[in-house]
Copies of this chain bind each other. A is one copy, B any other.
């Protein structure tokens, strides 16, 4: 035998492996696919040859024969233009791809782009025949979108509860409302009463739910809602956190809840520039618990959201749907956790 085929790609196929190990194509196939009815002895024999030649079944052939490509589509909207400084989608993407790889699925990526015709783009997405299923970031989702997704006839999971038709669709989401509420209750427990909120991008359920949590916490504490303390134009970006905070500073607040850490960090800058102390004059809480929350001065109290796990559950859920182990809708809410640091 040769010596250094160890690393390169061998162009052997099932048939070759079968011949080399003295069995039939079918048996090799069974071994490769972990089918039960193979005797231990032949299994070993075949596996040895497979190892030796570093044989990997041809994915296209497999996909053609089985009508499953082991590919999942990931659709994420305008990742760049809008959510510039927010690493949420990067982390999510990483979570999804890692989870997919761990179960031998390949992720193919669809990112909308400003300078590309949207309708042509979505035609491409929905006509795709490669992906067995899709994971969709909810920001893209509206009623007609869900309809097309359904028409496609393949399973999908939405990351983030959609506004539309969410009773029937499959999604994975964090307990945004509960998290926000926990944060605001924490602020109240610290004796804060005039609590502002810097909201997230409108049109996203995460923003809606976090605002809802803020409102509900105040209501339960019998603190009247003051609309002037809710910034209308937050959008999860660094810039909007800064300007949002500037506005709130006109209303002598003693605490603020920012709908994500990025905005909280820039709000902290605004607070400091106004000559106020954190947390003595103004306490501040964020949401996400990403890297930044530990690098701010003082460190940021925040709500930890399991972004990576969001991807994880989405992948597992999708594959469960794919393999018929579970019936849609598959819906999963992941718990969040209050992380108290120095900013409150």
Contact = CB atoms under 8 A, between A and B. Distances in A.
Interface of A: 7-9, 54, 56, 58-61, 63-64, 69, 71, 74, 79-81, 84-85, 87, 89-91, 93-94, 97-98, 101-102, 106-111, 113, 116, 121, 124, 126-130, 148, 151-153, 238-239, 269, 290-292, 295
Contacts of A54: 127
A151 B8 contact: yes
Contacts of A74: 109
Contact of A108 (B102, B108, B121): B108
B129 A58 contact: yes
Contact of A98 (B81, B113, B126, B292): B113
Contacts of A71: 108, 130
A63 B196 CA distance: 57
A102 B111 CA distance: 12
The binding surface of chain A is classed by DSSP as mixed
26 contacts: A7-B151, A8-B151, A8-B153, A9-B129, A9-B151, A54-B127, A58-B129, A59-B69, A59-B129, A60-B61, A79-B90, A79-B93, A80-B94, A84-B290, A84-B292, A85-B87, A89-B90, A97-B111, A98-B111, A98-B116, A101-B116, A106-B108, A106-B128, A108-B109, A109-B109, A238-B292
A94 B93 CA distance: 13
Contact of A107 (B89, B102, B109, B148): B109
A106 B72 CA distance: 12
A155 to B, nearest CB: 14
A102 B295 CA distance: 40
Oligomer: number of copies:
2
Contacts of A151: 7-9
Given A60-B64, A80-B91, A85-B87, A152 B107 contact: no
A97 B63 CA distance: 23
A209 to B, nearest CB: 24
A90 B80 contact: yes
A290 B111 CA distance: 18
Contacts of A269: 269
A56 to B, nearest CB: 5
Contact of A106 (B63, B64, B97, B130): B130
Given A9-B153, A54-B127, A97 B109 contact: yes
B84 A9 contact: no
